[in-house]
Amino acid sequence: MQNGRFFEDFEVGQVIKHWPGRTISETDNSWFSLLTQNQHPVHIDANYAKSTQHGQNLVNGLLVLSVAIGQTVADISLRGIANLDYESVTHEGPTFHGDTIYTKSTILDVRVTSKGDRGVVYLETEVTNQREERVMTVRRHVLIPKRNHATLGEGKISHEAES
């Protein structure tokens, strides 16, 4: 969906496969670890990582989370008002340099808010690698406008701006 979805476009049980995947490089992992000041050697020291159970560097889990959520934006939150929470993030398997991650989301619940011009979409996003092994699961709530909700991005005056 080129311009994002409105609240009415979501249905309980709906499965949305996000595209494209993203291959995570050693450079991505190093820069992200430096940017976030996460200096755990399993992410940035190949010699140290050889001595661990995986025998190689692990991609920083928050990088995997960030990429996974980014992959969902076009289909889930492009029109979103806010990500309300990340209810749970479960790391289920390792991600290594050179792995490609893919995401799909399942809509678990939808409810209109008391304002009536928006709703909350509750969803679970499953993150897998190129071997179709699940590496992460994320549950969150996103506030999405209904079609009748004017937005600044469409050249209209926002309802909030009118108040």
Query: Each residue of 2-29: pLDDT tens digit?
Result: 689 999 999 999 999 999 999 999 999 9
Note the pTM of the prediction, 2 decimals. Answer: 0.88
Residue 12 in contact with residue 110, Cβ under 8 Å? yes
Query: Each residue of 53-103: pLDDT tens digit?
Result: 999 999 999 999 999 999 999 999 999 999 999 999 999 999 999 999 999
What is the Cα–Cα distance from 5 to 142, expressed in whole angstroms?
12
> Within 10 A of 63 (CB to CB), how many other CB atoms are there?
21
pLDDT score at 148: 87
Question: Has residue 153 got a pLDDT over 70?
Answer: no
Domains of the chain: 7-162 (3.10.129.10)
| Type of residue numbered 118 | R
Pair type for strands 82-91 and 100-112: unpaired
| Type of residue numbered 80 | G
